[in-house]
Chains A and B, each alone.
Chain A
């Protein structure tokens, strides 16, 4: 039987997608895997079905609230989900994120400093 071969045009995006890491290895318990990546202070992404099983405060993590969802592969069930929650290690939060509260406080501080005459 004849087989038609269609040449694929791989874009950079396709290559990157194909090379994306798969996350939890087969047979590995999700809890242990997440405990490992939490110990490494890495960003944790969990789908709606897995997120309630994770207690961020217990491991000094902070749930991102300004962007309550992200598109990612769930670290628990290794499934891509566009409604994942993401958690950032608390001490590292300000390295990659700022909250509107922090920016509002900065703006208030700016106004006060201008009133005092020195920015």
Chain B
């Protein structure tokens, strides 16, 4: 994930906190460490940003191995830089699958002249994409997006119509949308999965999306459960 700025337009606040383990990678969200953990922060999980501290700005690996964290007496302490602003905006690549491959696109198999449905080959009802977003990659609607208002099997329905679609048009959909809270991350904790039902996972709210192709679309997020906020 990338640090994109703050709601308040203020400067980033960077703090150096003690690590609790090896293998931290820049760009992941860090959490306040659990009780009896060795350091001050731990990594987030694929489904939790509970008590977040902020975005890890430091490199913790060099050629695949940790270069800092150690519990050996006399070794230097592992300290990492974290951007801790509670109102920070994060930018994450949207992907499909636990390991984070390009977004899986789908193809229209039944044309809809009224532009109200996208009928493809894959289910949009399980996992449920209702209230998510759908956008076209090709055809007469290329680049256009709409909010999905209902789903049934392989059919996604919108209220504000697209132009007529045609068999063979390709499109993408994602279980994220403006104002929805909950994202599921890839196992490397760096990207957001689009193939998970809406409002599932870590407590972050979507404030914007960059809907491009299958490998360069992004979602902008804010952390809902940041430890520096008054209520967590």
Chain A, residue nearest B10 (CB): A71
Question: Among the listed A41, A110, A118, which residue makes an inter-chain contact with B59, where contact means beta carbons less than 8 Å apart?
Answer: A41
> B136, A119: Cβ atoms under 8 Å?
yes
Residues of chain B with a CB closer than 8 A to A7's CB: none
Q: Which residues of A contact B170 (CB under 8 A)?
A: 118
B14 on the A face (CB < 8 A): yes
Indicate which residue in B3, B18, B67, B81 contacts A19 across the interface (CB closer than 8 Å): B18
B77→A21 contact, CB < 8 A = yes
Q: B40: which A residues are within 8 A, CB to CB?
A: 16, 19
Q: Is A88 an interface residue (CB 8 A)?
A: yes
With known contacts A43-B57, A71-B14, A82-B11, A119–B68 Cβ distance under 8 A? no
Contact-residue bracket for chain B: 35 or more
Chain A interface secondary structure, helix, strand, loop or mixed?
mixed
- Decide if B59 touches A42 in the complex (CB within 8 Å): yes
Residues of A within 8 A of B81 (CB): 42-43, 45, 72
CA–CA, A67 and B32, complex, Å: 25
Which B residues contact A (CB, under 8 angstroms)?
Answer: 1-5, 11-18, 25-27, 32, 40, 53, 55-59, 62, 67-68, 77, 79-81, 83, 91, 135-139, 142-143, 170, 190, 210, 212-213, 216, 227-228, 232
Known pairs A20-B16, A109-B216, A118-B142 / 9 extra A-B pairs, C-beta < 8 Å: A12-B232, A16-B228, A19-B17, A40-B62, A70-B11, A71-B14, A110-B212, A119-B138, A119-B143
Chosen A-B contacts, 16 in total, with CB atoms closer than 8 Å, are A19-B17, A20-B17, A40-B62, A41-B59, A42-B81, A67-B5, A67-B11, A67-B12, A70-B14, A72-B81, A86-B12, A92-B59, A106-B210, A110-B212, A118-B138, A119-B135
